[in-house]
Every structure is written in C-alpha cells, then in structure tokens.
Amino acid sequence: MARLVLDNITKSFGTVQVINGIDLAIAHREFVVFVGPSGCGKSTMLRMIAGLESVSGGRIVIGDRDVTHVAPSKREIAMVFQSYALFPHLTVAENIGFGLRLANTPKAEIDRQVGEVARTLQIEQLLERKPRHLSGGQRQRVAIGRSIIRNPKVFLFDEPLSNLDASLRVQMRLEIARLHQRLDATMVYVTHDQTEAMSLADRIVVFNAGRIEQVGTPIELYEKPANTFVAGFIGAPSMNFIEARIDSSGGAPIARFGPASIPLADAERRFQPGGVTLGVRPEHILIAEGRTPDFTATVEIVEKLGAESLVYLQTGFSPDPVTMRVSPEHPVKPGDSLPLCLDQNRVHCFASDGAAI
Amino acid sequence: MERETGVWRLVFLALPLGVFTVLVIWPLASSFYYSFTNWNGFSDNFEFVGFSNFNKLWTDKLFFNAAVNTAIWMVAAVLIPTLLGLGLALLIDSRIPGGPVFKSIFYFPICLSAVVVGQIWIWIYQPDWGLLNVAIGAVTGSSPDFAWLAKPDTALGSVIAAWAWQHTGLAMVIYLAGLTSIPEDLLEVCEIEGASTWQRLRVVIIPLLTPATVVVVALNVINSLKGFEILYIMTGGGPFNSSDTLAMHMYNESFKKYLMGYGSAISVVLFIVALTIIGIYFRELKKVDEIYG
Amino acid sequence: MANAHSAAPAGREFNPWPAVIFIVLVCLAVLFLAPTAGVLLSSVKTTREIALGDLWSFPTRLYLGNFIEVLNKPAVHQYLINTLMVTVPATAASIALGVLAGYVFAKLPFRGSEALFLVIVAGMFFPPQVILIPLYRLFNAVGLIDTLYPVILIHIAMGMPICTLLMRNFFATVPNALREAAILEGASEWQVLTRVALPLSLPALAVLATLQFTWIWNDFLWPLIFTQSDEKRTIMLGIVNLKGQYSVAWGIQGALSLVASLPTLIVFLFFQRYFIKGMTMGAVKG
C-alpha cells in the first residue's frame, strides 16, 4: 500500500517560514495535484516528500514507514524534474538505466529492463541517442522512463510540462494520465497551471502562502470553492467577484449591488447583514431573453475563441470588467448594451475574510 | 548604408590588422623563410641553404634531448596542475567555510612573474638553507645539502614542481567555474537514485566537467609550450642540458650561438607542434560542444 | 520498517567530512604559502641571520635595511620607470585595438570575418619564440634595438588575440537593437562604439586591463631580447641583473622581488574577480 501521509509539516529557511503545518493523506493509487501561484510552497513540499529538502517539523509517511529522516534513495520514490534533468553525456538507454547501473545490476538485466520501459514509452528507436538530439517531448519521456524503471511507490512530478509548447503539453498530459491508469502507483504532481490540475487530478490541493487553502476533487473545487482564493484560482477565465450588501429586512436575504438585487434563498446559508463578495463564473451570467434582466451592461471587448466568445462588460457596480461566455454565433459587438441576469443557484457568496458562506 | 558600413569596417580594422600583420603574421611567415638560410643575426649577407637546417635537426643530439625534455615537461606540466587543480576545486566546492580565502591562496601565484617564482623556488632548493633540505632534515634528523637544481637527475623535476605550484590555481578556478555550471537537479537525481560519493564523482561530476577539462588541458599545454622563462631563470637549461627544452634550445642556438637560420628551423618545429595542438583542441571543443551545448 | 533504521537520518547525524576537508585545505594552504613566506621572511632579515641558516624561522625583529637599500638604488628606480613606460601604453593600446577589432567582428561581420577572427585568436596559442628571430631582424633593421619601443609594440600585437576575443564576446552580448536605434537617431558607427557600446563594456575593459597589466609587467622574454643596456632594462630583468651584484645578499634579493611584485599583487588583491573572469572567459571560448 503506497499511501502517503504528511503530518503537520513545517519548513523554514532561517526565520522565514515557507510551509506552515501541512496535513494531508494521499491514498494508494491516488493522483494528487499540488497547485498554486509561484512561491506558494508547493514545490518545496514536493521536494520535502522526495527528501531533497529537509523538513523543519512534522512527519512524512510513505506506505507504513516514517521516511521523514530517510535518504531520498531509500524512500521508494521517483521524481520527474521540470528541466528533465537528463545527463548530457549519457545516451537515452544509459539515462534510463542510470539507477540500475549504480546498483551494479548485470548488464543484461539492465538492457532487458531498459528495453521494456522504452517499449512502454515508445522510445525504443531513441535509445542510442544523446539528450541533446532529442525534442522536449522525447526528453520528458526519457525522464519518465528513468522514474518508471525504479518501480517506485510514489511518483513525484515537479512541473514536468512547463518547458513544453502548448500542443505538446496537452499530448504529454494525456500520456501521464494513461501512465497513471496503467501503473500501480501513487502520483503527486506539482503545477501552477490550473487546467493541468483539473484535467489530471483525482484530488487537487490548492496551496497559497505555505498553507493548504482547499483539498478536493476538481469538480468540488470548481463548484464549491472554500474561499475567494480557490474560487479565483480554479477555472478559466476566472470567476467574477462583485461587492454586494446583504439586506435581510424583508425576511429572505437579498444581495444588492448597483441597481440589481438577487435573492439568496438557501436555507443552509446564514448571512450577517453587511458586505459580501458575490462570485459568479462567466458561464453563469446569462443574456436575459424574455426574462426581466437583473442589470444591463455595456460590451467593452469581445474575444472570439471559436468554440465560444468571451465578452468583457462594463458595469456600473464593478471597477473591473465582468467576463461572460456567449455562444460564438451570438452577434454581440463592442458598444452593445446587454440585458443580463445571473444564474441565481450558482452564485457564490464569500464573507469579508474571503471564506465561502 | 551598406557602403558606409564597409568604410567603417575598414577604418576600425586598419590599425589592428596592420599591427597584427606586421608584428605577428609577417614574422611567422618569415620564420619559415629564415629557416632555409644561414643568417647569423648581424650581417646582411646570408645564403639560402635549402633543407640543411632541418637535416641538422636529425643529427643534433641536443635537439633530440630538448625534444624529449619538452615532452616530459609538457606531460608533467599538464597533468600535475590539472589533477591538483581538480582536487582543490572539488574540496573547495564542498561548501566549507573560508572557500574564497582558500581560492585566493591557491590562485595568487598566477599573478607572480616567472622571475619571482623562479627566485622563490631557487631558495626552496638552495642546498644549505633551502626549505626543502631543511624540511627533509627535520624529518630524517640529518642535515642534507642536496643541490636540487644543480643535479641533472633532479633539475627538470624541480622546475616542474615550481611550475605546478604557479599553475595549479588556474586549473582550480576553471574547474570551480565548471562545477558551478553543473545543474543542481542532476546532482539531485544522483541523490534520488542513491549514488555513492565516489559514483557521483566518477559517473556524473567528472564527465560533466569535460568542457572545463578540455579548456584546462589546452591552456596548460599552450602555457607549458611557452614555458621558457622559468627554465631560463632557474636552470638555464642546465646542468648538462638536462632541463633543456625546445624553446630553450631555440634561444641558445639563435641568441647565444647566433645561428639564426638554425634557430628558425627549431621555431618552425615549435610552430608545427603548436598548430597540431590547436587543431586537436578545436576538434575536441567541437565534440564537447556537440554533447554539452 | 527495518529499512528505516538502517538508513542514515538525513540532516540529523554529525557529519565529519566538512571538518576533515577544512583541515586538509588548511594544510595545503600552508604548504602553498610556504614558498612565498620564505621571500617575505628573508626581506626583513639581515644577510648574516640568513647565512646562519635562520631564513625560515619567524623574525625576532623587523629589519628594514633591505627595503631601504633597494628603494634607494637609482637603478631600481630606472627599472620601475622603464617597466611602467612599457606596461601602461602597451596595456592601453592593446585594449584599444581589441575594442576596434572586436566591435567589427561582433557587430559588423562580413564574409570571411569569422576566419579572420580565428586567425587572430589563434595567435594566443603560439609560443612567442616562433616569431622571435624575424622580429629581432625587423627592429634591428630600423635601429630600435636597445630601446623600449620594440617591447611596447610587440606587447600590443601579442595582446591583441585575447583583447579581440574578449571584446568580441562582450560586444556580442550588447543587443543589436541598441546599435540600430542609435543609427536611426543619426549616430555614426564611431559614435555607436564610443557612446553606446563602450560605456556598457566597462567590466570587460576592467578584465582586460587587469590581465594585460599583469602579463606585461611580469614579462621577461621580450625585454631580454630587445634591451641590452642597464638603463633600458625592465624590473624583471633588473632582478636577474642585480642577482649577480648581490649574490649572497639574500635579504636584498627578497626585498627586490617583493617590490617588483607589489604592483601586480595589488592589482590581484583589488581586481581578483576580474582576473579570474578574464582567465576563465578567455579560456572557455578560446
């Protein structure tokens, strides 16, 4: 069983604490993605799991073993680096078989295992080449090959696709997903790209400023963000935030912003009178066709993306433009005044401290 | 526009190329010319003597002796500073306190002149009170008065030691620069794969230092080929020509015996040796570039 | 679980290696400094003390007589002046030529410029003995033997390969857009070089000044060949000359060596960074 447990992990460099008490349990075979802006501590956390960085406090358990103070090579992990970290002087075969060679494995056995891995990754024809003569995608495959051959309990990926161009990134993403399906291993994957996180993860861990903001499946994070940070980080284009006031004078709470007001009928939510932040995803702003609009807005810019169009709106109540999605056939153009309404069941509310209500 | 650029090229290059042509290229070419003459250094009357200077090389025992000494000198003057420099660089790179101070200590002899280095080491080898004999005396309890530079068996080796002392620091700083350019994540791969210190050194660090090694070796080869001054100061090629090298021999034949024609022939040989080495160097550099980019 | 106990607890265990390495380095450093220490020690001792076999002991008192003797000697003054008269113009001129040539090779390349550049750089690799005889004949013919001019001129020429190489590599890092912007503003190529490229290349100039100064100051071969009379000798030859005069005056020889090395030592102390950069830069791209 290759579960991975992080128990109150802290890390400081000098007096600066960069990881503030991380608790996380990752199940066997789970694909977990650490996501967050740069400098949020996600990479440091991954490197502590690998043992490349020492922990300042807390425990790391892999399987049933406390590996907090175990050397990296004894942790039964493998790591894929952003830069691929291939040895320029070794051929592809030698790079993949590097660990076996260090362990003085017989040549024939190394060849057999390297051949097998190369077949899985379809890089058999590259085995005699040096890394310099490989493309980015091929290099990344070799790096993955070097980690597969270790047969680790946990795979660690540190932004493995950041150095690839966009189309290749999508292709490699699929391959990593396939790899996870085929291998009987736990995977921890670090990225700053929320699309990558959403598409790969069983569960996503959102990091910010050295702590975990939220842990959940991609859909949970998308539909029930715990706070404005997660709400703003997950989903592209980002969620719109609108400052509003709560008016409970009429019984059921109503959020008022600008000329508009929407009922917040939800028995479970408790509202204090005062300010809230409403969160509305671009797809939950609708053109009021035949209905009474909640408000009207002026179209500033239209981005035609093909499958959809993004419309940036000027409103009287929000200093930032509000984004909405429309179908590509919609004849909207800059300067148009649009009657709009909100999908009231999908409106998120956040208290002044950012936490979801 | 293009024409104007052409004019500027001419303006900028005229002086540098002029100086270089007159003082380097032309002398280089005329060295070949003089090697076919019997010019004695003063008179304007000299004759064309064909290949006789080169034929003389084959029968000149001193030339053969100098060639052998040059080979010994070059091998030692390349290997010793290179290996010592690598060792020092690896020690200093291990993040011990005072690294920059150590670096300066090992490196500073490079800024001393050959004359001063020679002077310093003549004192080390001084028979009566030289540090070497004093140290040997302190260890063995005797009071040796061995004249290191005056004995044919030890003269060349003694100068090589002085040379190595001065040039180890150069190899060290180049290796240190090479070490810092090794990507951190490659070393982390070693940690994850469980490489021992020795494996890390042999399988990863030393191969990755290849570009630095090519440079260090080339530089040492070139410098040692030029290494004339320190031999001139410390032994003058003696005793009994035991530390005579090609550069030394060329100087003696040309400026002591005034056999400028013959001296030119020796310098032509030197030139061909240097050319061969440059060829090898550029070829290796290209190969290394292929792999390491 | 057995594995957990056998594995070294990373970061918690006492690691003896840094201490061992430190001690090894200290020993090596002492060994490396010992030769120089001899010169320093001798320079503050009397000849009698040294002759009594006392060179390597720590001095009980500071004897400055050797330095006074050396610094009061008119010949030494002449040597130092001669050396300066060679070193300063040769350093400046070789860098100037390197700047001009390097600029063309970096910013105004033409057909064959790469080959020309290689020819110049290759000059760095040849033993100077190869051109000794023709140069001797050349300067003999124009009557400049036993003057400082041949020494200066040859140092300019011999310094060109390294200066051209470093300046070309440095100018190559100056964005072309800067030059083009200046040209669009109506600047001539000369103005681009002096107003745009040169102010940006002060670090490279510092590197070259450090290297060239040290090499030319320390040189022995060229003044040996081209100067004959004592009034024209440079300091390095002076040391060798005075050796005969002070054959057993070890302390004076030591003081003289120290005085002669002082300029380069000072340059090294203050510009070590540039020195190392120049050595590695010149080497790596050579």
Tell me, what's the pLDDT at B240? 84
The whole-angstrom separation of Cα B145 and Cα B151 is 12
- Quick check: C11 and A69 CB within 8 A? yes
| One domain for residues A170 and A262 | no
A341 found inside a domain = yes
How far is Cα of residue C152 from the mean position of the Cα atoms in its chain?
Answer: 15
- Quick check: A65 and C4 CB within 8 A? yes
The whole-angstrom separation of Cα A219 and Cα A204 is 10
- Quick check: A81 and B192 CB within 8 A? no
Confidence of residue C9 (pLDDT cuts 50, 70, 90): very low
CA triple A111-A113-A117, angle to 5 deg: 115
Q: What tokens appear for C226 in the block?
A: 């081209």
DSSP letters, B165-230, are HHHHHHHHHHHHHHHHTS-HHHHHHHHHHT--HHHIIIIIIHHHTHHHHHHHHHHHHHHHHH--HH
| One domain for residues A196 and A330 | no
Contact A1, A26 (CB under 8 A): no
Question: Can the peptide bond before residue A339 be classed as cis, meaning omega within 30 degrees of 0?
Answer: no
Least CA distance to A76: which residue of chain C? C3
ipTM at complex level: 0.86
Does B184 contact chain A (CB < 8 Å)?
A: no
The whole-angstrom separation of Cα A317 and Cα B21 is 78
Does A73 contact chain B (CB < 8 Å)?
A: yes
Judged by CB atoms within 8 Å, which residues 47-76 of A form the interface with C? 51, 54, 64-67, 69-72, 74
Tell me, what's the pLDDT at C207? 87
Per-residue tens of pLDDT for chain A, all 357 residues: 688 999 999 999 888 889 988 999 999 999 999 999 988 889 999 999 999 998 999 999 998 889 998 999 889 899 999 989 999 999 999 999 999 999 889 999 999 999 999 998 888 899 999 999 998 889 999 999 999 998 898 999 999 998 888 888 898 899 899 889 888 789 999 999 989 999 999 999 999 988 999 999 999 999 999 999 999 999 888 999 988 888 877 777 788 888 888 887 665 666 777 788 889 999 999 888 888 888 889 999 999 988 899 999 998 888 889 999 999 888 888 988 888 888 888 888 888 888 887
Confidence of residue B223 (pLDDT cuts 50, 70, 90): confident
- Quick check: B188 and A79 CB within 8 A? yes
Least CA distance to A83: which residue of chain B? B185
B82-116 tens-digit pLDDT:
999 999 999 888 878 888 888 888 988 888 888 99
Least CA distance to B253: which residue of chain C? C133
Contact residues, chain B, for C157 at CB < 8 Å: 19-20, 22-24
Judged by CB atoms within 8 Å, which residues 41-60 of A form the interface with B? 50-52
Boundary-marking domain end, from A180, A203, A233? A233
Question: Can the peptide bond before residue A237 be classed as cis, meaning omega within 30 degrees of 0?
Answer: yes
| One domain for residues A41 and A157 | yes
Strands A240-247 and A65-66: unpaired
- Quick check: A67 and C11 CB within 8 A? no
Boundary-marking domain end, from A216, A233, A250? A233
| One domain for residues A91 and A208 | yes
| One domain for residues A65 and A208 | yes
- Residues near A242 by beta carbon (within 8 Å), at least 6 away in sequence: A257, A277, A278, A279, A280, A317, A318, A322
- Quick check: A67 and C4 CB within 8 A? yes
- Quick check: C10 and A54 CB within 8 A? yes
C240-283 tens-digit pLDDT:
888 777 766 778 888 888 888 999 988 888 887 777 777 666 55
| One domain for residues A148 and A41 | yes
Q: What tokens appear for B267 in the block?
A: 């310098």
A356 found inside a domain = no
- Specify which residues C40 forms β-bridges with: none
The whole-angstrom separation of Cα C97 and Cα B21 is 13
| One domain for residues A54 and A190 | yes
Confidence of residue B124 (pLDDT cuts 50, 70, 90): confident
A259-269 tens-digit pLDDT:
888 887 665 66
C166-187 tens-digit pLDDT:
899 889 888 888 888 988 888 8
Tell me, what's the pLDDT at A61? 92
Least CA distance to C163: which residue of chain B? B16
Contact A4, A188 (CB under 8 A): yes
Contact C162, C208 (CB under 8 A): yes
Least CA distance to A132: which residue of chain B? B291
Contact C168, C105 (CB under 8 A): yes
Tell me, what's the pLDDT at A268? 60
A144 found inside a domain = yes
Q: Tell me B255's DSSP state.
A: I
Contact residues, chain A, for B287 at CB < 8 Å: none
The whole-angstrom separation of Cα B251 and Cα B66 is 12
CB A251: neighbour CB atoms within 10 A?
6
A355 found inside a domain = no
Least CA distance to A150: which residue of chain B? B193
| One domain for residues A254 and A225 | no
Confidence of residue C50 (pLDDT cuts 50, 70, 90): confident
CATH architecture of the domain covering C67-285: Orthogonal Bundle (1.10)
In 3D space, the residue among A11, A45, A344 whose CA is nearest the CA of residue A206 turns out to be A45
A273 found inside a domain = yes
Strands A260-263 and A31-35: unpaired
- Quick check: A87 and B208 CB within 8 A? yes
Judged by CB atoms within 8 Å, which residues 6-65 of B form the interface with A? none
C145-166 tens-digit pLDDT:
889 999 999 999 999 998 998 8
* CA C46 vs CA A201, A271, C33, C51, C52: distances in Å: 82, 96, 22, 9, 10
How far is Cα of residue A121 from the mean position of the Cα atoms in its chain?
Answer: 25
Least CA distance to B222: which residue of chain C? C125
Contact A138, A164 (CB under 8 A): no
CATH number, position A246: 2.40.50.140
Contact residues, chain B, for C101 at CB < 8 Å: 12-13, 16-17
- Specify which residues A254 forms β-bridges with: A247, A263
Q: Is the dihedral of CA C260, C263, C266, C268 positive or negative?
A: negative
Which residue of B185, B191, B291 is in closest CB contact with A83?
B185
Does B145 contact chain A (CB < 8 Å)?
A: no
A55-69 tens-digit pLDDT:
999 999 998 889 998
Min Cα–Cα distance to chain A from C12, Å: 8
Min Cα–Cα distance to chain B from C119, Å: 9
Q: Tell me B48's DSSP state.
A: B
- Quick check: A69 and C1 CB within 8 A? no
CATH number, position A71: 3.40.50.300
- Specify which residues A344 forms β-bridges with: none
Least CA distance to C97: which residue of chain B? B16
Contact A17, A68 (CB under 8 A): no
Q: How many domains does chain A have?
A: 2
| One domain for residues A43 and A129 | yes
Confidence of residue C11 (pLDDT cuts 50, 70, 90): very low
Contact B291, B209 (CB under 8 A): no
Q: Tell me A239's DSSP state.
A: P
Tell me, what's the pLDDT at A125? 92
Min Cα–Cα distance to chain C from B291, Å: 16
Contact pairs from chain B to chain C, CB under 8 Å? 252
Min Cα–Cα distance to chain A from B92, Å: 22
Which residue of A78, A101, A132 is in closest CB contact with B293?
A132
Range of the structural domain that residue A262 is part of: 240-350
A357 found inside a domain = no
The maximal CA–CA distance of chain C, rounded, in angstroms, is 89
Contact A11, A55 (CB under 8 A): yes
- Quick check: A51 and C10 CB within 8 A? yes
Contact residues, chain B, for A87 at CB < 8 Å: 186, 189, 204, 207-208
Does B293 contact chain A (CB < 8 Å)?
A: yes
A211 found inside a domain = yes
Contact B113, C224 (CB under 8 A): no
Chains sharing 3 or more CB pairs under 8 A with chain B: A, C
Question: Can the peptide bond before residue A328 be classed as cis, meaning omega within 30 degrees of 0?
Answer: no
Write down all domains in chain B, each with its CATH number in brackets: 51-116+156-292 (1.10.3720.10)
| One domain for residues A212 and A76 | yes
Does A307 contact chain C (CB < 8 Å)?
A: no
Contact A286, A345 (CB under 8 A): no
Least CA distance to C13: which residue of chain A? A69
- Residues near A137 by beta carbon (within 8 Å), at least 6 away in sequence: A164, A168, A171, A172
The whole-angstrom separation of Cα A243 and Cα A258 is 9
A103 found inside a domain = yes
- Quick check: A74 and C7 CB within 8 A? yes
Contact C202, C51 (CB under 8 A): no
Residue A7 burial (C-beta neighbours within 10 Å; 0-12, 13-18, 19+): middle
The whole-angstrom separation of Cα C104 and Cα C101 is 5
| HSE-CB for A188 with a 13 A CA cutoff | 30
Tell me, what's the pLDDT at C282? 54
| One domain for residues A209 and A256 | no
Q: Is the dihedral of CA A217, A219, A220, A225 positive or negative?
A: positive
Tell me, what's the pLDDT at B206? 93
Quick one: average pLDDT of B198-219?
89
